Amino acid sequence: MPTTTGTKPPSTLGQKSFQWLDDRFHIKALVDYMSDKSVPRHGRSIWYYFGGISLFLFIVQVVTGILLLMYYRPGADSAYESVRFIVSEVSFGWLIRALHSWSANLMIFAVFIHMFSVYFEYSYRKPRELTWVSGIVLFGLALTFGFSGYLLPWNELAFFATRVGTGMAGAVPVIGENLLVIMRGGEEVTGATIGRFFGLHVAILPAIFTVVLTAHLVFIQRQGMSEPIDWTDKPESEKKYIKFFPNFLLRDLLVWLIVLNILAVLAVFLPDGIGLIHWPLGTKADPFAPPPPVIRPEWYFMFAFQALKFLPAHLFGLEGELVGIGAFTLGGLIWALAPFLNTKAHRGKPSTPFTLFGILVLLFMIGMTIAGYILE
């Protein structure tokens, strides 16, 4: 039976269309479900917006990425030329590339904030363990997006950053050699590597990302927004909420509009980026040329890059970078499994060791990043 008992017969066109859809898909149940949800309101509510901002920037990535696809041609002889064609000949080509690059950087930044705020708020505690894990997977995929996209313009910087990045994979014990060959499509970074990274960047990653993102969003819709941990023992009367639908959603949209404006201003006035976040096309990659005096990865890989620079050749009888990769793997594992390891949070209590670990990770990342830019 339709669920319209007790309401007036539809009159306007909007109500009629709604009725038509509702008869077929039971939309009303969905709207009711959403209006039931509420978002906790407190001093740190601002952090709730960063997940939505990441989502919005991802949508921008999809749209601008599809537009870039229309002119981009992968391959050692065509990649660089096609990007130059986009930015110099195609109408607004520079704008689309600038939007794609800016939005990529802002997205990673928003994702970092989102992840750290969830971590420090212990929002990953039961029942949101899998929401956290799917988020970590999305984070890894986002970094892989960045890494695979960096090579595509086939310029000098991209070429060497990719040699070193894939060289890191080659340092993994046992499977490293095979991994490196699979990633590069051969022993060297060549046109074959562009082909692989291109396929990864525009087909494989988007497909996997969309599936995991959907799961992540469905989890969040099922669970609602997490309440701060210090609310656990608060009487109901002292907790404040706002409705998710439409109040919070409208605020979300307003924030998206603001982000869109920031993005537009950055892309129009700084199409090549600025300072450390910089993507000039530069010169075409030449496999025989020595690397330029300053070679560096994107800012979000800088901390890892710099940490490897600091490591001596040998440590505890092992190769230095092996120790580094091992430490990163271990740290990442603890990070990803925090909801399962942090049993105190499940009982609604903050846990000092986990907070300290988070602060340590944050300080390490910031410290290494700063060192990386200063010491070059």
List interacting residues with another protein (CB under 8 A).
Answer: 160, 163-164, 166-168, 170-171, 178, 181-182, 185-188, 192, 287-295, 308-309, 311-314, 319-321
Q: In whole angstroms, how close is the CB of 195 to another protein at the nearest point? A: 10
Closer Cβ to another protein, 198 or 248, answer by number: 198
Q: In whole angstroms, how close is the CB of 167 to another protein at the nearest point? A: 3
Closer Cβ to another protein, 313 or 374, answer by number: 313
d(CA 149, CA 197): 7
Closest CA to 124 of 328, 336, 331: 336
Query: What DSSP string describes 98-123?
Result: HHHHHHHHHHHHHHHHHHHHHHHTTT
Q: In whole angstroms, how close is the CB of 249 to another protein at the nearest point? A: 42
Residue 372 phi/psi, 5-degree rounding, is -60, -40
Closest CA to 101 of 281, 304, 301: 281
Closest CA to 98 of 86, 110, 108, 80: 86
d(CA 139, CA 146): 11
Closer Cβ to another protein, 51 or 372, answer by number: 372
CB 134 within 8 A of CB 266: no
Per DSSP (E only), the strands in the chain are 38-41, 240-243, 273-274, 277-278, 314-315, 318-319
Q: In whole angstroms, how close is the CB of 364 to another protein at the nearest point? A: 18
Closer Cβ to another protein, 9 or 293, answer by number: 293
Q: In whole angstroms, how close is the CB of 285 to another protein at the nearest point? A: 12
Closer Cβ to another protein, 291 or 367, answer by number: 291
Closer Cβ to another protein, 9 or 317, answer by number: 317
Q: In whole angstroms, how close is the CB of 363 to another protein at the nearest point? A: 22
Q: In whole angstroms, how close is the CB of 178 to another protein at the nearest point? A: 7
Tokens 């409208």 locate to: 250
Closer Cβ to another protein, 2 or 287, answer by number: 287
d(CA 191, CA 153): 12
